[in-house]
Amino acid sequence: MYRLNMENNKFRALFEQAAVGVAEIDSYSGQFITINQKYCDIVGYSEEEMKTLSFQKLTHPDDIQEDLSNMKLLVEGEIREFSMEKRYFHKNGSLVWVKLTVSPLWSLGERPSRHIAVVEDITQKKQAEIALKESEEKYRQLVESTNDWIVEVDKEGKYVYTNPQVETILGYKPYELIGKTFMDLMTKEEAERVYEIFAGTIQELGKFERIENICLHKKGYEIVIETNGSPFFDSDGNLLGYRGINRDITERKKTLKMLDYLAYHDYLTGLPNRLLFNSKLQIAIEEARKKNQKIGILFIDLDKFKNINDTLGHQVGDELLQDISQKLISQIIEKAVLARLGGDEFILYSERVDSLQEINTLAQKILEIFLKPFTINDLELFVTVSIGISLYPEDGEDVHTLIKNADLAMYEAKAQGNNHIKLFEKEMSIRIQERMDLENRLRYAIERNELSIEYQAQINMVNNQLTGMEALLRWNNPRIGYIPPSKFIPIAEEMGFILNIGEWLIRTVCKQIVLWKNSGFTIPRISINISVKQIEQTNLVRIMKHISNEAGISLNCLELEITESVIMSQTEKNIATLDALRNLGLQLSVDDFGTGYSSLKYLKRLPIHKLKIDKSFVSDISKDSNGETIIRAIIALAKSLDLVLIAEGVETVEQANFLIGEGCILAQGFYYSFPLKPDHFFDRWINIKK
């Protein structure tokens, strides 16, 4: 029989000083019989207390079952020893993890009635293990719940792990990919391309960053993936494999592509925009330079497109532009690029042009599109175009010059009327420069005192009496010299300067009247030329009142010359303005009469007092019977409408005699007097009177 013999001192010391807990336990009751100090320390009870306890009492209920069944096997001799990890309750209520090893204390021929239990406190190790498990679980959850597709591959690149996200991104279940490589998920070409990049960046950076690759979804369509990852190694530094995070950037790519597209295309028509056109033309020019070829540039501008937008609305305008761009595209030859520059402007270049004839033919084809009406919402719309052409290298060697010159040619085409094509000529650019120069100088003409007024006498040809005078604007620029009104008035009208200039002129004339009055000169009516812009865009009635009040003169001494265009565009507003002016005492005359298309009907409605026969008819006298016939007709018309008549541009005695003979006795012209500076006018006419 072998029993734990506590009487043996050596054994006793070993038992007491052991680094592990050792206890003798009753096999049936589980009662502690002998316990060493370490055991007591582990569970927090004294030896005495321990002796009143059984292992079942100390054991955590979750572990008791395993413990008891082990004990049973042991007692029945099925096993010779068992070990398990289990939890005790410490006296203070906390849990203690122990590794328990139990073996029987045999008494020969008997079933063991005592067991020896050895326990090792593994609480710390266990807690660390639990923490590790918990954090592993956290990472697992993280890896599995992320939107990215996370993978681990072995050193041959075969997937050993992929998170479930792969199913959402590529349609595969994770297990379907195990053992495969990324190359199985791509086309052969893409796989080769990506492999090279992977290998290159790994070598260079030791990891892979932002590698874009196109994988195929299980259903076959393309998914753009961005891969970041790095290799991992064992403790000896041997490569084990790679871990990577793959992100589906298909949508992002699409958006970027879209933004890119929008930056270079016109949203309405889908045509390239100016930016794209310019850079393409740039490349085409470089090519043409090397190969000694020509490029033709067509600047295409729709005429009066604004009218369509204004009258039919932007919706119709937009649809029309789309339709036009479609038709333009259909005419475009393979080597040409068409773009919309915005608004109603299109531009096109054609490469490898052999001759001017070729580009002209293309322009003609485009023009033909506009000979037929466009149908938008059941509306038939006729649109005309103006096309300007420039050629590389003749008309410019860079993008900017070529486009600018085609644009200039287009303007000239427009000036010729609808549906015209015009080739660029060097003079156009000189003309435009001159015009811009004039514009700039005219802007400052008033404040720099460059404007003045000359007066031309209007006389009664029968008695040579001064009956009126016309104020004519003069512009002398120190640099350019004298610029005739026929040249600068249209610019002033277009630029809107005419409003200020017109007001300046009225004010200056009024001041002149006062000066002359003060010198004892009873002036007849002075007529002032009024631009249609002044009637339409300013409150002319208020201005006239204000200025005459300022000067202290009556408006009876002024006459306003309007053109037939005012009569033709007679809106109710214009008529009201003219009526109001007339009511202020002003007289109204129609200048250059006969050159416009004003009809009798229109004339009758307006408060007109006088017609001025245009000088072109007067100059026809004794040269062209048509002119004479027109003069007779105008005279008859004036009589029937009870209007005063005056002939402009009378230069010869023959003209004067003809007019007198026909019954027109008032005249203005070089034959009687040139337009004169105020002082000269005074000398000429007052002195004569004296």
As measured in angstroms, the least distance from the Cβ of 333 to Mg ion is 51
3-state secondary structure of 588: strand
Hunting for tokens 């009225």 — which residue is that? 506
Site for Mg ion in 575-604 (CB under 5 A): 591-592
Task: Tell me if 277 sits within 8 A of 259, measured CB to CB.
Answer: no
Distance of alpha carbon 506 from alpha carbon 548, whole angstroms: 9
The span from the CA of 119 to the CA of 101, in Å, is 6
Q: Which CB atom, from 408 or from 581, has the smaller least distance to ligand C2E?
A: 581
According to DSSP, the residues that pair with 528 across neighbouring strands are 471, 560
* Amino acid making up residue 108: L
Q: Tokens in use for 397?
A: 């060697």
Number of shown-chain residues binding Mg ion (CB under 5 A): 5
Residues 6+ apart with CB under 8 A from 590: 561, 562, 563, 564, 567, 598, 603, 608, 610, 611, 612
Q: Within positions 458 to 517, which residues make up the interface with ligand C2E, using CB under 6 A? A: 472-473, 484-486, 489, 505
CB of 531 to Mg ion, least distance (A): 11
Our finding on whether 610 is near ligand C2E (CB under 6 A) is: no
**Contacts of residue 3, Cβ cutoff 8 Å, sequence gap at least 6:** 105, 107, 114
Contact 105, 4 (CB under 8 A): yes
Residues in 626-655 at the binding interface with Mg ion, rule: CB under 5 A = 648
Q: Is 615 in the site for ligand C2E (CB under 6 A)?
A: yes
Q: If contact means CB under 5 to 8 A according to the sort of partner, which of ligand C2E, Mg ion, none does residue 486 touch?
A: ligand C2E
Interacting span for Mg ion (CB under 5 A) from 277-285, 493-501, 529-537, 541-549: 529-537
User: From ligand C2E, Mg ion, none, which one binds at residue 586 (CB under 5 to 8 Å depending on kind)?
Assistant: none
Distances (CA, A) of 437 to 323, 432, 478: 39, 8, 13
Per partner kind, with CB cut-offs from 5 to 8 A, the member of Mg ion, ligand C2E, none near residue 559 is none
Q: How many residues does the chain have?
A: 690
Which one, 163 or 456, has the nearer CB to Mg ion?
A: 456
- What is the closest distance, in whole angstroms, from the C-beta atom of residue 469 to ligand C2E in the complex? 12
Q: Which is nearer to ligand C2E, 162 or 619 (CB)?
A: 619
Residue 675 binds to ligand C2E (criterion: CB under 6 A): yes
- Cis peptide preceding 272, ω within 30 of 0: no
Cα gap 471→517, rounded to integer Å: 16
467 vs 529, beta carbon nearer Mg ion: 529
440, amino acid identity: N
344-356: b (≥16 Cβ within 10 Å) or e: bbbbbbbbebeee
Tokens of 371: 């000979």
Name the residue nearer to ligand C2E (CB basis): 394 or 651.
651
Task: Report the partner that residue 505 touches, choosing among Mg ion, ligand C2E, none (CB closer than 5 to 8 A by kind).
Answer: ligand C2E
CB of 470 to ligand C2E, least distance (A): 6
Name which of ligand C2E, Mg ion, none residue 675 binds, using a CB cut-off of 5 to 8 Å depending on partner kind.
Answer: ligand C2E
| 669 binding ligand C2E? (CB under 6 A) | yes
Q: Which of residues 554-583 bind ligand C2E (CB under 6 A)?
A: 561
Give 217's DSSP letter. P
70 binds Mg ion (CB under 5 A): no
Instruction: Give the Cα separation of 423 and 405 in Å (integer).
Output: 9
CA distance 505 to 475: 12
CB of 413 to ligand C2E, least distance (A): 26
Residue number, 164 or 490, with CB nearest to ligand C2E: 490
Identify which range of 292-300, 306-314, 528-536, 676-684 contacts Mg ion by CB under 5 A.
528-536
Based on its alpha-carbon atoms, the radius of gyration of the chain, rounded to whole angstroms, reads 53
CA distance 85 to 73: 17
Binding mask 639-668 for ligand C2E (x = CB under 6 A): ---------xxxx----------------x
Tell me whether strands 345-353 and 374-376 are parallel, antiparallel or unpaired: unpaired
Cα separations (Å) of 532 from 137, 389, 597?
86, 34, 16
Which of 36, 477, 529, 598 is the binder for ligand C2E (CB under 6 A)?
529
Q: Which stretch binds Mg ion (CB under 5 A): 198-206, 379-387, 398-406, 523-531?
A: 523-531
Q: Which does 649 bind (CB under 5 to 8 A by kind): Mg ion, ligand C2E, none?
A: ligand C2E
Separation CA 669–CA 53 (nearest Å): 142
* Coil, strand or helix at 220: coil
Please state the closest distance from residue 512 (CB atom) to Mg ion, in A. 17
Which of ligand C2E, Mg ion, none does residue 22 bind to, with CB < 5 to 8 Å depending on kind? none
Q: Which of 151, 362, 591, 645 binds ligand C2E (CB under 6 A)?
A: 591
238 contact, one of Mg ion, ligand C2E, none, CB 5-8 Å limit per kind: none
The size of the interface with ligand C2E (CB under 6 A), counted in residues, is 22
Distance of CA 198 to the CA centre of its chain: 37
* 529 counts as binding Mg ion under rule CB under 5 A: yes
Give residue 125's Cα distance to chain centre. 64
Residue 343 interaction partner, one of ligand C2E, Mg ion, none, beta carbon < 5-8 Å per kind: none
Q: 654 is written with which tokens?
A: 């023959």
Measured between alpha carbons, how far apart are the two ends of the chain, in Å? 171
Point out which residues bind Mg ion (CB under 5 A).
529, 561, 591-592, 648
Point out which residues bind ligand C2E (CB under 6 A).
456, 472-473, 484-486, 489, 505, 529, 531, 561, 591-592, 615, 648-651, 668-670, 675
